[in-house]
Amino acid sequence: TAGITQAPTSQILAAGRSMTLRCTQDMRHNAMYWYRQDLGLGLRLIHYSNTAGTTGKGEVPDGYSVSRANTDDFPLTLASAVPSQTSVYFCASSDEGGGGSSYNEQFFGPGTRLTVL
C-alpha cells in the first residue's frame, strides 16, 4: 500500500498567494494531522481531524485551514501566504485520535517543503 502521500513535494510561493497542500492516506485511519517542522523546533501541530467531518485546531493554526470531507483526504490551505510560513509540512495519520486511545502511533507522509518569498 502507498500509506500516506503528499503533494507537491516542494513549492516556491509568492507572499500573498494562496495554496493547498494535499494529503491522502489509504490505511482507512480515522485521525489525520498536519504539522510544520522548523529547524531547532519540534514538530508543531497545525490542525487535526479525529474523524471524517470534524476538525480541530492545534498549537499553531493561524493562517491555515483544513477540511475533512472523507476518510482519505485532508488538505491544508494557506489563504494568503506569508514568509513565516516557510517550513516543511508533514501530514500524518493514526488509527484513532483522542478520547480514549492510549496508543495512536502516527504514520507520516514524505513532507512538502514550502518556501514563501
Partner 1 sequence: GQNIDQPTEMTATEGAIVQINCTYQTSGFNGLFWYQQHAGEAPTFLSYNVLDGLEEKGRFSSFLSRSKGYSYLLLKELQMKDSASYLCAVLDSNYQLIWGAGTKLIIKP
What stretches of 51-101 show up as alpha helix (H) in DSSP?
none
Q: Which of 18, 110, 115, 117 binds partner 1 (CB under 8 A)?
A: 110
How far is the C-alpha of 89 from the C-alpha of 94, rounded, in Å?
Answer: 17
Pick one of 46, 85, 111, 114: the residue that binds partner 1 (CB under 8 A).
111
Distance CA 85, CA 32 (A): 20
**Secondary structure letter of residue 111 according to DSSP:** -
Residue 22 interacts with partner 1 (CB under 8 A): yes or no: no
CB 109 → partner 1: shortest distance, Å?
A: 6
- Asked if 51 touches partner 1 (CB under 8 A), the answer is no
